[in-house]
Amino acid sequence: MWKRIVIAGGGTAGWMTAALMAKTLGRAGFDVCLIESPTIGTVGVGEATIPGFVHFNRLLGIDEKDFLKKVKATFKLGINFVDWNRAGSEYIHGFSGLGDHGQGLPFYHYWLRWQKNHPQANIEDHFLASTCARKKKFCHPDPSISSLFSGAGYAYHIDAGLYARYLQEYATSRGITHIEADITDIRLNEITGHIESLRLDDTRVIEGDFFIDCTGFRSLLLGGALGVPFISWQKWLKCDRAQVVATAVTDDNFVPYTRAKAQIAGWQWRIPLQHRVGNGLVYSSAYMDDKQAQSLLMSQIDSQPLAQPRMLKFNAGMRARFWEKNCVAVGLSSGFLEPLESTSIHMIQKTITRLSLLFPNAETNAVLAKQFNEEAAAEMEKIRDFVILHYHLNNRRNEPFWRDCQNMELPDSLQHKLDLYQKTGYVHHEHNDVFTEGSWLSVLVGQGSLPQHTMQMINTMSDTQLDNYMNNVRQKIAELSDKMPLHLDYLQTILRS
């Protein structure tokens, strides 16, 4: 049995891994050590999450009120996409289900048929989260109040640096060993090729049975020592840089959603926290130089900057394998997708949750690694396709970057899904998709894509019956959202209690 676990790297990936190890393996006789560089900092401009993150904190037994206070978090109901279809357009991808499921078929089938007779209809009126987000309203979902809450979810905007420190305290108080040092050498077994030990800059040698690579883009263990190649997706996801800056909080930007605004060669994010607002411009260096990008970002922020902007470089893609020999990569060391749909922390969570379910002994390593790699790759490719969808469906026809995104050849998996939807109105959803039919429909309809036909089964309802049904759902959502408190008031009540 492999008992000595070494986590290389701290930050969000390292400490989420350590916290889950402390929770799931801490009482099973495992020795878990995390090695963190004292010289490598974090970006620190805010991080957005999706609803699965709430469940991760619950799994750890974290008190939400304590978490909100210590990581300066705010609530998040979705993402506001501005100018993605064309200049002046916007829509919200919300975290609730679309409508209800009281008529047998998924609600979106009814909405697509209904929209043909009501072309000016706004799909957001049938999403509880989108409606609440636009009104700056929030409260915890309560299905006992309304069945419309049954599919509702929420997430957070967090200070990732504070969250890492929060989990550091959690993990070390539960027996995780923490070493601050830089890794200078990685020793492999000459026969098996497995990692045996890490040499540190203070001359210590840390031996282990199983290693978890949380070293970020450097991927020191998986990509470096074990030589697992990187598969680039830049032909589809052209952005390769970001300019980031934090700004002051104002009442106007204290909203329960992330904003993603399309710009001339990429897009700009805004993430509101309690103590600052995170801002960044994601762009392609092939279409815009760094000085232009920095100038554009600083001209578009809507409050006082708290520091000078910084630049990050990246390449969208993933390692050919997440698990190689006795090493698993978590977070940026395994791959990267730009934060358009806030999936970075989600991928960390899914990777370490999957690892905890498939944690090996030496005899089962190979068969578990194969299953792990197949599941991890499939999930990341599905998220990749969803992100590509946003770029491909744009209608910004006067800008080279966006025209090239419109005309690019899509992955076969995404092309099939688009063809199916556009010809029949059917949104194909697999059991392990991160994003539901409602999420796909938010983007498809929000960016102007409506199907040529809808499913025949939907025609059992008359036009009058359909009008009554759709208007009733819309009215219930409007009434429910009107009764909710403002996000700012609700959060302040929690923080004062």
Q: pLDDT class for 77, splitting at 50, 70, 90?
A: very high
Could you tell me which of 279, 283, 261 has the C-alpha nearest to residue 271? 279
Query: H or E stretch including 58?
Result: helix 52-60
Contact criterion met (CB below 8 Å) for 374 and 392: no
Position 8 scores a pLDDT of: 98
Q: pLDDT class for 30, splitting at 50, 70, 90?
A: confident
Q: pLDDT class for 27, splitting at 50, 70, 90?
A: low
Strands 277-283, 327-329: pairing kind:
unpaired
Position 479 scores a pLDDT of: 95
* Residue of 348 and 141 predicted with greater confidence: 348
Q: pLDDT class for 326, splitting at 50, 70, 90?
A: very high
Could you tell me which of 297, 378, 279, 396 has the C-alpha nearest to residue 43? 279
Instruction: For residues 466-470, give the mean pLDDT.
Output: 93
Position 295 scores a pLDDT of: 98
Position 3 scores a pLDDT of: 86
Judged by phi (left if over 0) then psi (alpha if -120 to 50, else beta), residue 331 lies in left
Tokens of 145: 């109040």
Secondary structure of residue 483 in the 3-state scheme: helix
* Residue of 323 and 461 predicted with greater confidence: 323
Could you tell me which of 442, 443, 413, 406 has the C-alpha nearest to residue 430? 413
Contact criterion met (CB below 8 Å) for 2 and 212: no
Query: If you average pLDDT over every residue of the chain, what do you get?
Result: 93
Instruction: For residues 208-225, give the mean pLDDT.
Output: 97
Beta strands, E only, 109-209:
155-158, 177-180, 183-188, 195-200, 205-207
Q: pLDDT class for 146, splitting at 50, 70, 90?
A: confident
Position 41 scores a pLDDT of: 67
CATH number of 4-73+158-234+316-377, picked from 3.40.50.620, 3.20.20.70, 3.50.50.60, 3.30.70.600? 3.50.50.60
Rounded Cα–Cα distance for residues 436 and 427 (Å): 9
Could you tell me which of 493, 494, 492, 497 has the C-alpha nearest to residue 249? 492
pLDDT over 70 (residue 354): yes
Position 343 scores a pLDDT of: 95
Position 29 scores a pLDDT of: 76
Contact criterion met (CB below 8 Å) for 432 and 378: yes
Rounded Cα–Cα distance for residues 335 and 242 (Å): 17
Instruction: For residues 350-370, give the mean pLDDT.
Output: 83
Single-letter code of the amino acid located at 71 = V
- pLDDT over 70, % of the chain: 96
pLDDT digits (tens, 9 = 90+) for 431-461: 778 998 989 999 999 999 999 988 877 888 8
pLDDT over 90 (residue 1): no
**Strand 155-158's sheet: what is its strand order?**
47-48, 155-158, 74-76
Rounded Cα–Cα distance for residues 282 and 269 (Å): 8
Could you tell me which of 269, 272, 268, 267 has the C-alpha nearest to residue 253? 272
**Kindly report the CA angle at 5 between 4 and 6, in degrees rounded to 5?**
120
Instruction: For residues 44-67, give the mean pLDDT.
Output: 92
Q: pLDDT class for 25, splitting at 50, 70, 90?
A: confident
Position 100 scores a pLDDT of: 73
* Residue 317: C-alpha distances to residues 132, 138, 379, 405 (Å): 34, 35, 13, 17
**DSSP label at residue 86:** S
Q: pLDDT class for 251, splitting at 50, 70, 90?
A: confident
Q: pLDDT class for 229, splitting at 50, 70, 90?
A: very high
Exposure string over 253-272, b if 16+ CB within 10 A, otherwise e: bbbbbbbbbbbbbbbbbbbb
Position 284 scores a pLDDT of: 98
The label of the residue with tokens 């200078």 reads: 184
What's the predicted TM-score (pTM) here? 0.95
Tokens of 46: 């805010």
